[in-house]
Amino acid sequence: MIQIKDLIQSIAEKDTSVQTCAAKVIAVNAPQNAIHSPDDAFTVNVMRADGAVIKNVRLKASLQEEEQGIINIPKIDSWVLISIIDNLETRAFISQCSEVERTFIRFKSENNQYLEIDSNADQFHMVFKEVLNNIPGQPPTEFKSIASVSFNSLQADSNENKPNLITTFYDANGKTLSETLTTGQQQKTTLNSIKNDEPIERVSFDINTTADSIATLHFTSEDEESKQKIDITEVSTTIAINEDVTVVTLQENDLTITTDSGDGYSASIKSDEVIFMKEDHLLKLKDDKFTIKNSGSSLLDELGKLVDEIKLITVTTPVGPSGTPINVMQLDGLKDSFSNLLE
């Protein structure tokens, strides 16, 4: 098949006529066995003003060069100018478009690496890739991505209904190593390791202002278990370790530490009190006083009972039982001292 690039030279060398007319696009043709993508398109069908249909009008000079090129794909029902060389419809090509639905660009290097750019009014996608089965003398059939950039506008993103920008990097086998999602109110970066040929999320960093402003840094193991998670807001910081077994929360002047390892320990340090707990055991310091409790019984109560029992002590004498201790007032003063120290 004669290519447009050869015809251009022929037109320059010979007195070849080129006829141009207006036509309406009625179909965009995708190749049945696309090497790279089923969205590739290299020809369109058009209908001239007189009703004549011309099929397979070229969008690029060489239909054989599917590996690279710059293509403007016109909108269905839009008007275009088609140019016909030597009155042969097989040599027809689109010379001008009134409306472009999509622009597609593919560059190829000598090392079988590619840069693809695919864009329309709602989306922009750019990917760097290379041939996976690079066998000399054989056409490529599989590709692996190296890196990609993708932008979706407000209209294109129907799930979140907001624009987003995604950048992705891949390993030597085309598996996702890292990905960053950015919107007007959120940015999330995920770093992966590859296990059993599948990406496993290891580290993620998320900044989000859609609700309360928050930044989250999350570490996970290769077994997908949470190892440490740090949440930071404008007024607090929370650190969760080993799948929330131990949680440390700092909010303004207050610090809370809890553990759920089976022992049930927790600690809380605030501006006006310090608390250590284990199940029904409590040690608290507040207003310069300690509170020590166990199963509902406090140390202050037990010491008060002890002083009261000491005040009741009597002993046997030759003339009969003794009276109450003569230091009762001192013992009562001891209870007051306990009250000043304990609660």
pLDDT band at 300 (very low <50, low <70, confident <90, very high): confident
**Minimal CA–CA distance to 209: which of 263, 256, 162?**
162
User: Are the C-beta atoms of residues 185 and 212 closer than 8 Å to each other?
Assistant: no
pLDDT level of residue 199 (50, 70, 90 thresholds): very high
- Does residue 7 surpass a pLDDT of 60? no
Residue 265 is predicted with a pLDDT of: 77
pLDDT at 315 > cutoff 80: no
Kindly state whether residue 293 falls inside one of the protein's structural domains: no
First-to-last C-alpha distance (Å) of the chain: 99
Any domain includes 36: yes
Domain match, 128 and 224 both: yes
Record the tokens describing residue 53, joined without a space.
């249909």
User: Is the confidence at residue 104, as pLDDT, over 80?
Assistant: yes
Q: What is the CATH number of the domain that holds 190?
A: 3.90.930
80 and 5, same domain (yes or no): yes
Give me the pLDDT at residue 16, please.
61
Question: Which tokens sit at 54?
Answer: 């011309």
Same domain, yes or no: 95 and 116: no
Residue 312 CB neighbour total at 10 angstroms: 9
Same domain, 58 and 122: no
Same domain for 120 and 94? no
68 and 130 both lie in a single domain: no
pLDDT at 64: 65
Examine the pLDDT at 179 and tell me if it is beyond 60: yes
Quick one: 217 and 308 in the same domain?
no
Alpha carbon distance 299, 145 (integer Å): 69
117 and 225 assigned to the same domain:
yes
Residue linked to tokens 């009014």: 121
CATH number (domain holding residue 63)? 2.40.50
Residues 160-165, mean pLDDT to the nearest whole number: 72
Q: Structurally, how many domains does the chain consist of?
A: 3
Nearest to 132 by CA among 35, 201, 65, 199: 35
Tokens describing residue 139: 């056409």
Cα–Cα distance between 95 and 331 in angstroms, integer?
A: 110
Shared domain check, 87 and 143:
no
Tens digit of pLDDT for each residue in 85-102? 777 777 888 989 999 999
pLDDT, position 249: 85
Q: Which of 52, 75, 100 is the last residue of a domain?
A: 100
Looking at the fold, whether 94 and 116 belong to one and the same domain comes out as no
Query: What pLDDT band is residue 1 in, cutting at 50, 70 and 90?
Result: very low
Distance between CA atoms of 324 and 315, rounded to whole angstroms? 9
Per-residue pLDDT of 228-242, as tens digits, reads 999 998 888 888 888
In a domain, 39, yes or no: yes
In a domain, 198, yes or no: yes
113 and 153 assigned to the same domain: yes
Helix (H, G, I), strand (E, B) or coil at 303: helix
What six digits make up the tokens of 254? Answer: 């207050």
Mean pLDDT of 298-317: 80
| pLDDT value, residue 150 | 93
Predicted pLDDT at 284: 85
**Residue 277 lies inside a defined structural domain of this protein:** no
With a pLDDT cut of 70, the percent of the chain lying above it is: 87
In a domain, 123, yes or no: yes
> Can you spell out the DSSP letters for 213-246?
-EEEEEEE-TT--EEEEEEEESSEEEEEETTTTE
In a domain, residue 288? The reply is no
In a domain, 270, yes or no: no
**Which residues touch 335 (CB under 8 Å, ≥6 apart)?**
303, 304, 307
Query: Is the CB of residue 102 less than 8 Å from the CB of residue 119?
Result: yes
Q: What backbone phi and psi angles, to 5 degrees, belong to 271?
A: -65, -25
Domain boundary among 211, 231, 251: 231
**Alpha-carbon gap, residue 42 to 116, rounded angstroms:** 15
Distance separating alpha carbons of residues 141 and 231, to the nearest angstrom: 45
- Residues 220 and 130 both lie in one domain: yes
Cα 339-341-343 angle, rounded to 5 deg? 60
Percent of the chain with pLDDT over 90: 27
Of 231, 254, 275, the last residue of a domain is 231
pLDDT at 323: 73
pLDDT (mean) for 233-253: 84
Q: Which domain holds residue 156?
A: 109-231
Q: In the predicted model, is pLDDT for residue 193 greater than 80?
A: yes
Lowest mean per-residue pLDDT among 6-15, 103-112, 164-173: 6-15
> The tokens 């329309």 sit on which residue?
120
Tell me which of 149 and 3 has the higher pLDDT.
Answer: 149
> What SS3 state is found at 242?
coil
Could you give the CA distance from residue 35 to residue 67 in angstroms, rounded to a whole number? 8
Mean of pLDDT values over 270-291: 83
Contact between 89 and 19 under an 8 Å Cβ cutoff? The reply is no
On average, the pLDDT of the chain sits at 83
